[in-house]
Structure formats: C-alpha cells, structure tokens
Amino acid sequence: MAKPGVALGSESTAAATVLKRAVELDSESRYQQALVCYQEGIDLLLQVLKGTKDDAKKRTLREKISGYMDRAENIKKYVDQEKEDGKYHKQIKIEENATGFSYETLFKEYLNETVTEVWIEDPYIRQIHQLYNLLRFCEMLIKKPCNVKTIHLLTSLDKQGYVKESQRNGLEEIKMSLSRHGVLLEIEYSSSIHDREIRFNNGWMIKIGRGLDYFKKLQGRFPLGYHDFDLRPCHETTVDIFHNKHTKKI
C-alpha cells in the first residue's frame, strides 16, 4: 500500500504538469484545450488540498486554486461568447500516416445528449469502403450520449451504372438498419455538391478536407487498425471546427 505522502506527491506533480500545459495552451490562444487542462489540473490540486495537513501549505494551495479557477472561468466566458457570436474556430491538421483519429476520437467532444439531428454533406459516399465509413459514423451517432433521431445525407450519385446501383442499394440498407434503431436517414442527391461538412443541431459544424474518407487502406489480412480505427493510418487532411448557434438545414 502506497504511503499518503507519496500519493500526494504524485498528485501534486501531475497537477503541476497538467497546469503547465494549460498555461502553454492559453498563451497559444488554444482556449478550448486550455480550459480542459485547467479543469483537470484544478481537480488534481483539490485532491492535494484534501490530503494536506499543514495550514500554510493549505493557504498557498487555496490561493493557487482560486487563481486557476478565475482564469478558467474567464476562458469559459470567452469561448461561450465566441460560440454565441459564431466566431469559434479550431483547426486540426492530420498528418500523412498519423493515427489516433477515429470518428469517436475526433467527434466525441462535440456530441452530447442535445444532439438529435445531424446533417452530412459529402459527395463521395459511393464506393463500398465509403459506404462503410458512413455506416461507422452512423453507429457512433446512435450510441449514448446522443439522442439522434434524424440524419440528413446530401451526396452525389456515381456516374457508372453498376456503381450507382450498388451505391443506392447500400444507402437503402443503411437507411433500413437505422430505422430499426428509431433513426430516420433522409437521402438527397446533388450533381453540383463539392464541399464536405458535418453539422449537429447543437451548433457544431465540422469541415474535413477529405470528408469521412480520410483513412488509408490497410495491407495484409490481419493488420492492427482493422477494427480499431484509432490505430489506422490516415491520409493528410485538415479538420476545421466551427460553432454557430443557428445551424442551417439542407
């Protein structure tokens, strides 16, 4: 069993590391990420405070916690105002062959119980692997904490007859499967669509340069990343994330 002093020392070190990262992110104007680190660091410091007996150390810790809490609150107000004004913008650059960017990892920060409706604009939901990408994305949407009831898909039809038929049949299968989970998939086709974006009715809008099709094809029969897409290498692309209180419908 670990000694209390050792445990406190470990928590204190962890808090210092996390809060140092929070300050770095803060100075780089990466406020959303800084806020997460401030909150985590404050929680760790509160644990240290609970186990501290020395009054002078308690006083110092309370002052530090108060300072970090004030800064976190100011950042939260700023981020909330940016969202309200429709000015929030975060960019993620996915490097060639990078891993750790499954749909769950990329989108989980923006999905909560308020998400009931989703709009997907992607001209390339045509090939079999692209249909599986859509299916995988839909699987994520019907899990908690979301309460998704309607998914709107705007895509384009492939020009080759046999591919077009396979595309339509695949999308209809996905639609039927979603309906068994109480989710309506509305499909619309456009010959002029080019942009790729995903919108949630809680105001978040995500634009991915390659749409949902940013994973690389794996080599071999049993490679890592076959099921866990956090382990699958990606094509280089850019993800832009915005927040708009008034999300338009297709």
- Mean pLDDT score, 80-96: 83
Whether 79 contacts 31, CB under 8 Å? yes
- pLDDT digit string (tens) for 41-72? 999 999 999 888 889 989 999 999 999 999 99
Percent of the chain scoring above 70 in pLDDT: 94
Sheet holding 117-121, edge to edge: 89-94, 237-243, 204-208, 197-200, 117-121, 150-155, 184-189
The arithmetic mean of pLDDT across residues 135-160, rounded, is 94
Task: Indicate the pLDDT class of residue 243, thresholds 50, 70 and 90.
Answer: confident
Q: Evaluate if residue 248 carries a pLDDT over 60.
A: no
Q: Which residue has the tokens 């080759």?
A: 160
- Look at the pTM and tell me if it is higher than 0.85: no
**Residues ≥6 apart with Cβ < 8 Å to 236:** 94, 95, 96, 98
Confidence of residue 244 (pLDDT cuts 50, 70, 90): confident
